[in-house]
Amino acid sequence: MTDYGRLNDIQGIDALLKRLVSVSSEKAVSSREQHPGLPEDYVEFLLRIGAGEVGSQNYMIYTGLIPAEEIYGERKLVGRVLLFGDDLCGFAAGFDTQTWRVVEVDTEDPTAVDVAPDFATFIAQKFSEIASWQ
């Protein structure tokens, strides 16, 4: 079980999380079946904390994974990146399905850039960053 309790150390975390809604266990099971190897920390986050808008239109965590080509078209990422969220301004984040590390993608240059070893690390960093803007 991932320790998401460390998110409580982020000043203003309640305001960031208030719009998130937990996904159903059926949705989580479906995601696991569709994507073998899907990181458990990601699934646990969706079940325990949720998906939706983070903060005041600062970030969106999707209720499920979206193939990168649905947003970026047939480019370098096809079949390799599954997106789980975006900053509502052109940067999306997701998993490199070859390594399950977290990557970010820019709409201007849709190349996956490795940004975190796992979802828990990424989301803690992202929430800290967003909290600093508030």
Say whether pLDDT at 43 is over 80.
yes
Query: 8 by DSSP, 3-state: which?
Result: helix
Beta carbons of 62 and 45 less than 8 angstroms apart: no
Percentages (nearest 5) of helix, strand, coil residues in the chain: 35, 25, 35
Span 21-25, average pLDDT: 95
Q: How far apart are CA 26 and CA 32, in angstroms?
A: 10
Residues 64-83 pLDDT 10s? 999 988 887 776 665 689 99
Q: How far apart are CA 5 and CA 3, in angstroms?
A: 5
The reported pLDDT for the residue numbered 78 is: 53
**pTM of the predicted structure, to 2 decimals:** 0.89
**Helices assigned H by DSSP within the chain:** 13-17, 25-34, 40-48, 69-72, 119-133
Average pLDDT value over all residues in the chain: 87
Residues 82-91 pLDDT 10s? 999 999 888 8
